[in-house]
Amino acid sequence: MRIIDAHLHFSNITSFKDTAANLSKLDYTSAGLAQEYRDANVVLGIAMGLTETKADGFPDYETATPMGLDLEEQIPANVCYCPGINPYRLARQELAALEACLSNPEVVGIKIYLGYYPFFAYDEVYSPVYELAVKYGLPVVFHTGDTYSERGLLKYAHPLTLDEVAVKNREINFMMAHFGDPWVLDGAEVLYKNRNMYADLSGLLVGTREDLQKKLDSPYFFNHLKHALAFTDDYSKFLFGTDWPLVQVQPYIDLIKELIPKEAHEDVFFNNAVKLFPKIKPLIE
């Protein structure tokens, strides 16, 4: 089975480097990613653009829009990306740079970091971004749920806040990253209600294969997620993603396979990403 990783990172972010070295224990380089993808038959990764202007600075209010991928000079050939948005940097010059970026074939969507920046998804500050999403036919990805920084503000990342933006922008397809975890039942209602809302299953855990297995063996840890998946009851709305480098690729694939019915694997691991991100089709043919 071919797999698309619909959520990873390839950015020079201090916390990602520390996580790779000390928690997930992986090689956070282009070579390391390429090897993990080969071993797991991942044919394409969709990275989320993110930058910081000083070490351990994210969420960085000074970094320029659009945020790209800057871990290494050369981006892996089988990685495309969604440029990140800094809502404090959306003046005319930044919006022009964002629009120019969206024309590139390797740019397949737009990423908004709710919770890391203190604006709700429906805030007017993002209106020009949504206009560009419509113009270029691109999906918009939101960070939702727990933030990987204690400087984040959780109320802005709650999945229920996406309902309003989904209703007001029916012509845009949206993806809530991390399914709003731990508020996945609220996320499930937003998915169930809105035909233009999807979710990825990335970033549910951080660590090694052993760390993931401990949580899988727990009688309680995944009850909230299983409840939410059953409530939505529509696996055409979910995409596989790793949030690499927070976890190793193959162990996370094995974890999601345990949580998703076998008959839905082709959709969750491949087909749904092709549907939500139409620009990736030439990249996987």
| Residue labelled with tokens 């984040």 | 152
Exposure pattern of 93-119 as b/e (b: 16+ CB <10 Å)?
A: ebbeebeebbeeeebbbbbbbbbbbeb
Mean pLDDT value across the chain: 97
Confidence tier at 285 by pLDDT (50, 70, 90): confident
DSSP at 74: S
Contact, 228 vs 187, CB < 8 A? yes
pLDDT per residue as tens digits for the range 158-182: 999 999 999 999 999 999 999 999 9
Give the number of other Cβ atoms within 10 Å of residue 163's Cβ. 17
Rounded to whole angstroms, the Cα distance separating 58 from 63 reads 9
* Nearest residue to 244 (alpha-carbon basis) of 49, 76, 1, 7: 7
Q: Is 82 left (phi over 0), alpha (psi -120 to 50) or beta?
A: beta
Give me the count of residues in the chain. 285
Q: Judge whether 282 and 274 are in contact, CB under 8 Å.
A: no
- pLDDT for 57: 87
- What digits encode the pLDDT tens for the residues 189-243? 999 999 999 999 999 999 999 999 999 999 999 999 999 999 999 999 999 999 9
What per-residue confidence (pLDDT) applies to 175? 98
- Contact 85/111 with Cβ under 8 angstroms? yes
pLDDT tens digits, residue range 71-127? 999 889 999 999 999 999 999 999 999 999 999 999 999 999 999 999 999 999 999
Query: Could you tell me what percent of the chain has a pLDDT over 90?
Result: 96
CA gap 63, 210 in Å, rounded: 36
Decide which of 3.20.20.140, 3.40.50.300, 3.90.650.10, 3.40.50.720 is the CATH code for 3-284. 3.20.20.140
